[in-house]
Amino acid sequence: MNKYEIMLIIDPAIDMAMANEIVESVFDKKNINKVVKLENSTLAYPINKSSKAQYVVYTLEAKSELIAEFTRRANIAKFIWRQMVINLDSEKGFQRSKKAFKHRIAKDAKVANKGTGVKQLIENLEKTMSHKAKHSFKKEVKKSN
């Protein structure tokens, strides 16, 4: 079973319990780890002639077949305006480019060897770097010497 995060935008006039019923009928209550009602907020553009909506986020574990069934039921329900399902196991999220990071380390190492205040520059960089990045930085400084 995979971990999923489901975000719903629902009609502000209805009770959140109706959305919970649909989610619980598909996934079982025991598989739902967390339910968070974010807020009633003003939308950037109207949905179904309404400028306000409720946001609800569910964190749960389920089989991929159940996601298709949930999407089908959510599309049928009139009070669920939008839904988004994210597979947390396969989602990598935002990650920095390693190539750009290595380039920055090499550039900082060259600057550290040239000018005045070398120790201060190195100390400032080491405060902001992870352990692995510090190791790479020290190797680059040694190479450029």
Radius of gyration of the chain (CA): 24
10 in a structural domain: yes
Residue 20: pLDDT band (50, 70, 90) is very high
What is the amino acid identity at position 65?
Answer: E
The answer, yes or no, to whether residue 52 has pLDDT greater than 60, is yes
110 in a structural domain: yes
Give the model confidence (pLDDT) of 74-122 as tens digits: 999 999 999 999 998 887 766 655 666 666 666 666 665 665 566 666 6
Query: Which domain, by its residues, includes 126?
Result: 98-144
- The predicted model scores a pTM of 0.62
93 in a structural domain: no
Domain of 38, CATH number, reads 3.30.70.60
Contact between 5 and 62 under an 8 Å Cβ cutoff? The reply is no
Mean pLDDT of the chain: 82
Q: How many percent of the chain have pLDDT more than 70?
A: 66
Instruction: Count the domains in the chain.
Output: 2
Claim to verify: residue 45 and residue 106 sit in the same structural domain = no
Report residue 2 as tokens: 């995979």
